[in-house]
Structure 1
Amino acid sequence: MYTGDKEYKPKPDETDQETQEPLYSYVANEEIIQAVNLAIQLNRPLLLEGEPGCGKTRLARAVAYEFGKKYQQDEQKWPYADWYIKSSDQARDGLYIYDAIWRLYDVQMTSQLSTSNVLDTSEIEKIRKRLSDIKHEAYITWGAIGKAFRASQKGQRMIVLIDEIDKADPDLPNDLLLELEEKRFFVKETGEEVKIDPKYQPIIFITSNGQRKLSDAFLRRCIYCYIGFPSTEKLEEIVTARFGDRKKWTTAIITQSVIRFCNIRQKMEENKGEFGKKVSTSEFLDWLNALELNTQKAKDLKSLLEQDNIPYPNTLFKSRDDLEFAEGLNNESI
């Protein structure tokens, strides 16, 4: 089960061994932890909604990291796959993609082998091997859901992220209902049925920014969790997890940065109302990173946070109107 405990979080400056990207601690509240564990217990996808930049996407990786530390041996990663939805995606893209053109090319090449000297013997054998495989493995690229179903057959409970499902065509979530409900799908080119082992069901995270309403039929099959904007205390915890190991980020500086940011966000809420775009947690962390990279000591940070002008406003405000609004905030000396 997921706990969010500190002992299972990345250490400061830890990087992914494969990608070399930095790994950051994820700060989950009790509601999020409970929702994750309910989804695991009930074998239901966890649907995460919230404004952009609130940490929905990073939760799946945080759970995978903890499970790797807790349950895997020899520092092995917990099996993980992700599907970042594009507007052109169809449900089958999450299952598999079949390269019919490559197979047609192989078929055409075999018909010309007797008259062609272009290919050497080893290449000819590779083509014949691909064509003789009844499962057509060489021509299939498995999607995130397809990988998870196949991992289940090998006794692995893979974590899957389906990110921004509301970005896709409205039919895509409904087209996934069979796979989510019956835990199986067919490869129509081969007739193969790919079915989950009930003992090793994937742990599926689905994120949505709420830009499009999902169908009731789809929602019924999910556990739902809304990730709201963090409280001041949670923001301080998030900043401490990201920067707290560095000497210049004292407790007082962290509190000061959170207060400054919350004041900015509150002014934006007053100006834009409930549904306008406001600065997000991810943009807040970008802003702090800019402060981190352009200061040497705590006093430098303190000086920037206390100045009337908002330092490095381009990290927080992403439109001309917002930058003009920021200038107004500067004059108000928030």
Structure 2
Amino acid sequence: MSEASSRGTGGKPGNGRFEGTERYVATEDLMVAVNAAVALGRPLLVKGEPGTGKTVLAREIAMALGKPLIEWHIKSTTKAQHGLYEYDAVARLRDGQLGDERVKDIANYIHRGKLWNAFAADEQAVLLIDEIDKADIEFPNDLLLELDRMEFHVYETRETVVARNRPIVLITSNNEKELPDAFLRRCFFHYIRFPDAETMERIVGVHFPDLKKEMLRAALTAFYEIREVPGLKKKPSTSELLDWIKLLVVEDIPPEALKVTDKKDLIPPLYGALLKNEQDVHLFERLAFLARREGRA
């Protein structure tokens, strides 16, 4: 069983436990993982294929529990220090040359990061550290102490920032690189498996409640057949399936057009929503070519 992405909000906030929302199909094991991480006060590390709803999970947790959300999206250039604070020495030097009175207080040049904002929040917040594996290998280790003790020191102002309320921390990873063991030990782990057909039907039903059953069955059959093609570089994800179905509805494509009755016509209509690189498109074109050649033989 698996979880899937959401593109809206909804639910019953403030009940103290995460049980999914009206716009997010959560399986039992996901709900257990979220609530266990909250109870333990540990970061929840979520892995899974891109497009399976890892990032949006944080938004749905915040909505369901009635808590503010703070999002920190990691890039390859992101450093752990950015999440704490940044000291703008250049601005202070410039203001000093201009005779600005602000230079007398160094705190005017300290810019809070996402962790600081989460620590300083008046109520418990949900902190998303998104795609942690994009940063360099030292990034997770550089956050160990801060996430463990929920405090850090600001050397320029000689103050220690302590979390008013321990935030609910959700960390996502696409498995682009391995995370350090010391970091993993401090997390509660959950892997989002790709949704099976039954779960996917529920997910699509949330987003397209009026979709005809014949179209739903045809779209899901075609979708899973594409994912099972050997040699596919990037398998289409849940979010791409939802995009594809939206286009099928907008363009009024009939269910019959999705059924592969002839191997010579393997590429589905509006395939650009599902196949996202030229290698996979060429793969389907080669398969169709081989099928045509076999038909002539």
Structure 1 stretches lacking a partner, 5+ long = 7-24, 69-77, 111-126
Asked if 1:202 is matched to 2:145, the reply is no
Indicate the residue corresponding to 2:38 in structure 1: 40
Question: Which deviations, in whole Å up to 9, do the C-alpha atoms of 1:54-102 show, x marking residues without a partner?
Answer: 111110011112222xxxxxxxxx3111111111111111112222222
Indicate the residue corresponding to 2:8 in structure 1: none
Structure 2 stretches lacking a partner, 5+ long = 1-16, 293-297
Contact 2:127 2:170 in 1 (8 A): yes
Within-5 A mapping of 1:244-259: 244=209, 246=210, 249-259=211-221
TM-score by length of 2: 0.85
Runs of 4+ in structure 1 over 4 Å off: 328-333
Deviation at residue 204 of structure 1 after TM alignment: 0.5
Deviation at residue 239 of structure 1 after TM alignment: 0.7
Which residue of 318, 324, 328 corresponds with 2:276? Answer: 318
AA aligned opposite 1:173:
P
AA aligned opposite 2:114:
A
Partner of 2:234, secondary structure, is coil
Indicate the residue corresponding to 2:140 in structure 1: 173
For 1:329 and 1:66, how far apart are their aligned partners in 2? 46
Within-5 A mapping of 1:1-334: 1-6=17-22, 25-68=23-66, 78-110=67-99, 127-128=100-101, 130-133=102-105, 136=107, 138-151=108-121, 154=122, 156-197=123-164, 200-244=165-209, 246=210, 249-267=211-229, 270-272=230-232, 276-295=233-252, 300-306=253-259, 308=265, 309-328=267-286
RMSD: 2.0
Contact 1:98 1:140 in 2 (8 A): yes
Identity rate, percent: 44
Indicate the residue corresponding to 1:115 in structure 2: none
Deviation at residue 258 of structure 1 after TM alignment: 1.1
AA aligned opposite 1:229:
F
AA aligned opposite 1:266:
E
Deviation at residue 251 of structure 1 after TM alignment: 2.7
Partner of 1:236, secondary structure, is helix
For 2:97 and 2:254, how far apart are their aligned partners in 1? 67
TM-score by length of 1: 0.76
Indicate the residue corresponding to 1:18 in structure 2: none
